[in-house]
Amino acid sequence: MSTDRDTVRSYDTVAAEYAAEAAAVPEWVATEIDAFVAELGGSGRVLEIGSGGGRDALELEKRGISVRRTDISNGFVELLREAGFEADLLDPLTDDLADPRRPGMPYNGIWACASLIHVAREDFSTVLGRLAEATRTDGRLHVSVREGDGEDVSTYGGAAAPRRYVETYWREAALRSALTKAGWIVSQIRPCIGRPDDRWLSVRARRARRTQTLGLDWPSGSGRESKLKPR
Ligand SMILES: C[S@@+](CC[C@H](N)C(=O)[O-])C[C@H]1O[C@@H](n2cnc3c(N)ncnc32)[C@H](O)[C@@H]1O
């Protein structure tokens, strides 16, 4: 179980540039935002994983959603704070996901757009399960990952400022299986295309009742039950 620190450092290095480059909402992301907000009924508290420059949080808030902005990269967290937003440094693999501003209240939804691409395949189910534990029954999930096979390591820059990103690719069947085992009921996995050759799988899912997950990866007494209030 490990987080790729080179990837995180690389985002730290380019946080401001990345935020500027990603400022416009891609069409497929706009479609997902509208669907997610509609599923939430236009209100509720959402945990965002990998807020980056904060583009999606603003769009969600415009539509009536309260967003907890988080990122694993301190570069993005500082950027968001400088812009006047509350933002928390958070690794969804290891950190406590409970909402510090609403103690004991599970989230109504999770928004993780293009962020879990950096979670290693062997850690993906753990992250999805932790997100499910932090969400109320029937709460909503958006997660988008790159479509394809295997992993990709890309390197940029010179010795003075080396950058290295690790990404994990997914196919629909394996993605669906990981989500289901982690306590999510998948309603749709939509193939989406960004820039040419930029292929995504975009997930719409809701959190299963605890009993619906028994017999899968969450047996009662496994220690993975939520420490939040009953719901
Ligand atoms: C491609 S950017 C997407 C940012 C933003 N959500 C967007 O759509 O523009 C990837 C994001 O994932 C974050 N990230 C990197 N490694 C991560 C990890 N192991 N777990 C969760 N998020 C990670 C980065 O800091 C960055 O905010």
- CA-based radius of gyration for the chain: 17
Q: Please, are residues 20 and 53 in contact by the beta-carbon 8 Å criterion?
A: yes
Quick check: CB of 113 below 6 Å from ligand 1? yes
Residue of 113 and 211 predicted with greater confidence: 113
Least confident of 5-14, 194-203, 218-227: 218-227
- Per-residue pLDDT at 222: 37
- Per-residue pLDDT at 231: 35
State whether residue 175 is helix, strand or coil. Answer: helix
User: 205-221 pLDDT, tens per residue?
Assistant: 999 997 665 444 443 33
Instruction: Tell me how crowded residue 157 is: count the other CB atoms within 10 A of its CB.
Output: 12
Domains of the chain: 5-212 (3.40.50.150)
Distance CA 173, CA 138 (A): 22
CA–centroid distance, 53 to ligand 1, in Å, is 10
pLDDT band at residue 1, thresholds of 50, 70 and 90? confident
- Per-residue pLDDT at 160: 78
Share of the chain above pLDDT 70, in %: 91
User: 141-169 pLDDT, tens per residue?
Assistant: 999 999 999 999 999 887 877 899 999 99
Quick check: CB of 3 below 6 Å from ligand 1? yes
